[in-house]
Amino acid sequence: MFDDGTCFRISPEATGKIIDGEAVIIDLATGVYYSLNPSGSRLWELLSAGQSREAMAELLSAEFGIGRDRAEKDLDALLIRLIEEGLVAPDDEAPAAPSQVAPGPAVEHDYAPPELLVYHDMADLLALDPPVPGLMPEAWDYPEEPDPPEDTST
Amino acid sequence: MKTAPPRAAPSRLALARSEAAFLQASSEAPAEHHSVHLELGGLAIRLSVVGTTLWEYLAPPLSHLASPRSTARPGLTIKLWDAARTGIAGPFATLPEILPTGKAFGFGALGEDRREAVAGYQTPAACMLLDRKGGLLAGWVRDPHALSSYEIGKPLQPLLFAWARDRDILPVHAALVAHRGRGVLLGGRGGSGKSTSALSCLNAGFQYLGDDYIGVPAPEGSRFVGHSFYNTSWLEASHAHRFPWLAPALAQGTPSRGNKLLIRPDALFGRRMAASVPIHLLVLPRINDGETVTRAWRIRPAEAVLRLAPSSILQLPFNDPRRLLDRMTELAHAVPCYHLELGTDLAGIPRSVEGILEEVS
């Protein structure tokens, strides 16, 4: 599916945080937000650190005590979901970050494959709040004239 | 031939012209010049309005922030005038003339310059600019009677929030009530039951700080404080029959915002309006019309943030998503977090909240 050396970049519109091992991600462009289970959250952390697919599969296998083949299969499944949602994209030009991410502690609970939960309720709410037609319905972006220099003659 | 794109004029010049127009309006109607000193999270604000009708619309939602202390140099000076009453028109017509970037926002538009030095807010009824660093907000209202209930219920909202955010009082989409001085922040998306919970608690004797937006500065140590912006409330018209005691507090003469009614609880419970309280508890309500009894259970900080953060980050303009997410995560770790399943017996809501406060104290 993806080459071992492939790295991924996170959308600049996605803001996320790992909270006690659970990732909360908000897409500022769409209003859709997400959460990830522990294995998925760990992978999000590795993605954010610029790790290659190979490094991520290795860490997933080691930390969650699963075979390398299964780790690769589960990782690819999550990557596809994240790409479908527009949260990440393959970045063939980015060099893989050195493996600076320390392996996480041994996982005490049973492994569950990475799972991305998707919440559309805010996107629905935002869609209910359209601008008044005719005022300024569209964004604008013009060049700006510089402020005149301050008068320092006094 | 390709035409050059319009160029926005310097925004600071527009601000200076707005301030000059305010002075002119004040000289046209000196008897209708009203002022009050306010305090928001320890920051001094001076609100000045020319036009008595406009003053009567805009001042009440902020009246609980009135401060006996006056200062020569407030952190924010607000100067607004009624263009219809004074005959002084605004010095420009639309935001794109003076701010280079902008976007639609609710019933109007927001603009800013690329240095984030000046921000603007315009609706069909009003237009105003904010010098974000200097703390001057100046603008005009075409006709106070044309203001929407949104603008009347939450005056100056986007620019006031931008000013607060720049001073690290981050606006959060939440309600805040307090029992014996202990604050309960009620978070969640629209329709989750924030207003239902806050108004039910108010009726049971709690202090009330707002049901929509609360300012949360960085904690002192692990102690979080919540600051009120507005003392108003919004109620779904279809829910009004559940709050018959609120009928005298319904703001008269203002059109509804969507299907929501503007409520002024201070008309009934003026002494229960508060400006700031320490936050002891984070509660995420959810309406369950299939149950009579309200139930509560503790939830993980991550779940609380997942339900509190998106609506604040996505709905509020001029915010800093990363900083807001960090602040809410820190809050969710500093205080206990509870899910509150709201039953149809509204009297059970404050009992349940009081029970949680006893449990965690």
b/e for A78-89, b at 16 or more Cβ within 10 A? bbebbeebebbe
Q: How far apart are CA A41 and CA B34, in angstroms?
A: 55
| Residues 6 or more apart whose Cβ sits within 8 Å of residue B4 | none
B146 has a chain A CB within 8 A of its CB: no
Phi then psi for B123, rounded to 5 degrees?
A: -130, 175
Q: How far apart are CA B120 and CA B92, in angstroms?
A: 12
Predicted pLDDT at B56: 96
Predicted pLDDT at A100: 53
In terms of CA atoms, which chain B residue is nearest residue A148? B10
B108 has a chain A CB within 8 A of its CB: yes
- Residue written as tokens 């009453």? B85
Nearest CB to B108: which of A15, A17, A135? A135
The complex scores an ipTM of 0.86
Nearest CB to B189: which of A121, A129, A137? A121
Tell me if B76 sits within 8 A of B45, measured CB to CB.
yes
Locate CATH 3.40.50.300 in chain B.
169-360
Predicted pLDDT at B104: 85
User: How many other CB atoms are there within 10 angstroms of residue B323's CB atom?
Assistant: 14
Tell me if B86 sits within 8 A of B53, measured CB to CB.
no
The pair of structure tokens assigned to A101 is 């991410």
pLDDT digit string, tens, across residues A49-108: 999 999 999 999 999 999 999 999 999 999 999 999 999 999 877 776 766 556 666 565
% of chain A exceeding 70 in pLDDT = 76
| Residues 6 or more apart whose Cβ sits within 8 Å of residue B352 | B294, B295, B296, B340
Report the DSSP pairing between strands A140-141 and B101-105. antiparallel
Q: Is the pLDDT assigned to residue A153 strictly greater than 80?
A: no
Q: Is the pLDDT assigned to residue A131 strictly greater than 50?
A: no
Residue B12 with chain A: CB contacts under 8 Å? 147
The pair of structure tokens assigned to B134 is 């200097």
B236 has a chain A CB within 8 A of its CB: no
A15 has a chain B CB within 8 A of its CB: yes
pLDDT tier at A134, thresholds 50, 70, 90: very low
Pick from B131, B314, B326 the residue to mutate for testing the A interface (most A CBs within 10 Å): B314
Predicted pLDDT at A1: 75
Alpha carbon of B160 to those of A95, B44, B62, B114, B292: distances in Å?
Answer: 44, 13, 12, 19, 39
A67 has a chain B CB within 8 A of its CB: no
Predicted pLDDT at B1: 54
The minimum CA-CA distance between B52 and chain A, rounded to whole Å, is: 27
Q: How many CA atoms lie within 13 A of B29 on its CB side?
A: 21
The average pLDDT across A109-122 equals 90
pLDDT digit string, tens, across residues B163-199: 999 999 999 999 999 999 999 999 998 889 999 999 9
Nearest CB to A19: which of B10, B108, B302? B302
Q: How far apart are CA B183 and CA B351, in angstroms?
A: 15
Determine the 3-state secondary structure of A89 from DSSP.
strand
Q: What is the mean pLDDT of chain A?
A: 84
Predicted pLDDT at B254: 55
Predicted pLDDT at A129: 43
Predicted pLDDT at B238: 84
Contact A131 B123 (CB under 8 A): no
Residue B109 with chain A: CB contacts under 8 Å? 131, 135-136
Residue B47's DSSP bridge partners are B36, B78
Determine the 3-state secondary structure of A60 from DSSP.
helix
The minimum CA-CA distance between A122 and chain B, rounded to whole Å, is: 7
- For Cα atoms B167, B337, B228, give the angle at the middle one, nearest 5 degrees: 35
Cβ-based contacts under 8 A for chains A and B: 125
- Name the CATH topology of B169-360: Rossmann fold (3.40.50)
In terms of CA atoms, which chain B residue is nearest residue A137? B104
Nearest CB to B96: which of A119, A140, A148? A140
Provide the residue ranges of all domains of chain A, joining segments of one domain with +: 7-127
pLDDT tier at A150, thresholds 50, 70, 90: low
Predicted pLDDT at A133: 38
Phi then psi for B298, rounded to 5 degrees?
A: -75, 145
pLDDT digit string, tens, across residues B141-173: 999 999 988 899 999 999 999 999 999 999 999
Phi then psi for B116, rounded to 5 degrees?
A: 55, 35
Residues of chain B whose pLDDT is less than 70? 1-6, 8, 252-259
